[in-house]
């Protein structure tokens, strides 16, 4: 078996303060993708969640179904007052999304998780070089 089918068919979601981090690896099966979308909506509504980062650096290909699920996750999060950032998109995935005509409204993108957290206003572990106020 490949993908995220696992024992319970779930994708792990890590809470980093008020940001939820989802890391997708390999192929996300349709049932697991639908379950992830539903679980995230409930989790955002239940607690203080300001942002969702979906790391797809481990995803080789994206089809129209997964593209639609990602857009729906972002739309649900937006309606529940959370911002969604898609991190780690490979060039081949970007090309495929464009070829499929998927614009993914409501999704911001970042090259990696660290930059995604920065976009959400959450500083990663080390001090951020964004404040060049040396000697002032």
- Segments making up each domain of the chain, as ranges: 13-119
Specify which residues 84 forms β-bridges with: 52, 107
Q: What is the pLDDT of residues 68-94, one digit of tens each?
A: 999 999 999 999 999 999 999 999 999
What is the third-level CATH fold of 13-119?
A: Transcription Regulator spoIIAA (3.30.750)
Contacts of 107-110 with CB under 8 Å at 24 or more apart are 107/70, 107/71, 107/74, 108/83, 108/84, 109/85, 110/53, 110/85, 110/86
Mean pLDDT for the stretch of residues 46-73: 92
Q: For residues 94 and 9, which has the higher predicted lDDT (pLDDT)? A: 94
Q: What is the pTM of this model?
A: 0.82
Residue 8 pLDDT level (bands cut at 50, 70, 90): very low
């Amino acid at each position: 078996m490949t993908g995220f089918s696992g024992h319970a068919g779930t994708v792990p979601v890590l809470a980093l303060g008020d940001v939820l981090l989802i890391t997708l690896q390999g192929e996300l099966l349709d049932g697991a993708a639908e379950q992830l979308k539903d679980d995230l909506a409930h989790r955002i509504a239940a607690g203080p969640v300001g942002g969702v980062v979906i790391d797809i650096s481990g995803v080789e290909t994206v089809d129209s179904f997964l593209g639609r699920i990602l857009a729906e996750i972002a739309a649900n999060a937006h309606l529940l007052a959370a911002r969604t950032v898609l991190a780690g998109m490979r060039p081949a995935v970007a090309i495929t999304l464009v070829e499929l005509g998927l614009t993914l409204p409501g999704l911001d993108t970042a090259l990696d998780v660290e930059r995604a957290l920065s976009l959400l206003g959450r500083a990663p572990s080390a001090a951020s070089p964004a404040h060049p106020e040396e000697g002032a």
